[in-house]
Amino acid sequence: MTRTIDTESLKRDHPITEVIGRYGIELRPSGRALVGRCPFHPDGGRPNLHVYPATQSWYCYRCGVGGDAIAFVRRLEGCDFRRAVARIAGGELHATVVGRHLAASSRPAGHLPGSYSPAERACLAAAVELYHNRLLGDLRAFAYVRGRGIDRQTVQRCRVGYAAGGELAAYLRWRRLPLRAAVRVGLLTPGGREFFAGRVVVPEVRGGQPIWLIGRTLDPVPAGPRYLGLPGPKPLLGWEEAAKSPTVWLTEGVFDWLALVAWGLPALALVGTYARTEALRALARFERIYLALDADDAGRQATAAVAGVLGGRAVSVTLPGVKDVSELAALPNGRVALLRAAGARQLARAA
């Protein structure tokens, strides 16, 4: 006899925002809804997906499709009803699935960060160079970064930049680089608009070559998302340097990561709260992982999920009176406070 599935209990135990969020889709409040990028069509970075927590439903105003959490998983993963239910109940939801869908809007299928053509790599490197030089000469943008506790040395070391907007296309032409390649990687929209305009930009660099970029708006009340990243799966930010150490600090945000780097600590950023299977496998190489994620419900849930996989090598860090590591960065004793909170007494005494 076929077992009856209590879908109402399933949806109550696994809210739709949690289900969609665990695919790595970033949602932000907009009235009574949460909005984000739709994985079912080439969206150009526009937030067409609307999620309604009150009714446990979603709808894309571009695709004209919607439903509940089960319908979302079925449509995204191409599975049947019972398989979708099993995946939700078991937590087997992978950001790599949505990464493939979102990446398809800007580049050919299977074209992942790190597998760029020579022209695409050259465009990424040129953008990082332009943005970095712009930040060092832009008083407002540099003051913002310094106000977040990030010093000039860290800015230079991590090649942090600022996209003033309206400069990249002209710069690429001057460098005789094809704009089509910049469009393919997501630096420019098909209409020529600069994707990161008005944002502090942080690259992930491997082997001296940027493979992915993420930008944070300077606007305190942004009309769109605070953070925008290039299409494709998010890498662990800071991997190349952190992998040299047996110990690592894992955090959520870009500025959390920059603060840890500024303090001389080997660090990685999830760039969100969801740790993909590939990320968890990579973290298993470390002897000890300090989990310094945000002190909110999402951060605590992510900490528990990562610690559950990594076991005794993971050390959960309760941040001392702040929401995240970046708030500690603005305090004169932030580094010491973090080390003490982590129980890293020997490091704290040496600080």
Mean pLDDT of 235-250: 92
Kindly state the helix (H) or strand (E) to which residue 21 belongs, with its residue range. Answer: helix 16-21
pLDDT digits (tens, 9 = 90+) for 254-301: 999 999 999 999 999 998 877 777 788 889 889 999 999 998 888 888
- Is 229 within 8 Å of 271 (Cβ atoms)? yes
Query: Is 7 or 350 the better-scoring residue by pLDDT?
Result: 7
Give the per-residue pLDDT at 43.
59
Query: Is 13 or 285 the better-scoring residue by pLDDT?
Result: 285
Q: Give the β-pairing of 57-60 and 49-52.
A: antiparallel
pLDDT digits (tens, 9 = 90+) for 74-89: 887 777 888 888 878 7
Residue 47 has pLDDT above 90, yes or no: no
Q: What single string gives the DSSP state of each residue in 172-229?
A: HHHTT--HHHHHHHTSB-TTS-BTTTTEEEEEEEETTEEEEEEEEE--SS-SS-SEEE
pLDDT digits (tens, 9 = 90+) for 184-228: 888 998 888 899 999 999 999 988 899 999 999 998 777 777 888
Q: Give the β-pairing of 65-67 and 57-60.
A: antiparallel
pTM for the structure as a whole: 0.68
Query: Is 46 or 256 the better-scoring residue by pLDDT?
Result: 256
Give the per-residue pLDDT at 3.
58
pLDDT digits (tens, 9 = 90+) for 146-161: 999 999 999 999 999 9
Q: How confident is the model at residue 90 (pLDDT cuts 50, 70, 90)?
A: low
Q: Tokens 């300090």 map to which residue?
A: 290
Query: Is 203 or 48 the better-scoring residue by pLDDT?
Result: 203
Q: How confident is the model at residue 128 (pLDDT cuts 50, 70, 90)?
A: very high
- Is 96 within 8 Å of 279 (Cβ atoms)? no
Kindly state the helix (H) or strand (E) to which residue 129 belongs, with its residue range. Answer: helix 118-137
Q: What is the mean pLDDT of the chain?
A: 83
Give the per-residue pLDDT at 38.
83
Give the per-residue pLDDT at 259.
95
Give the per-residue pLDDT at 101.
41
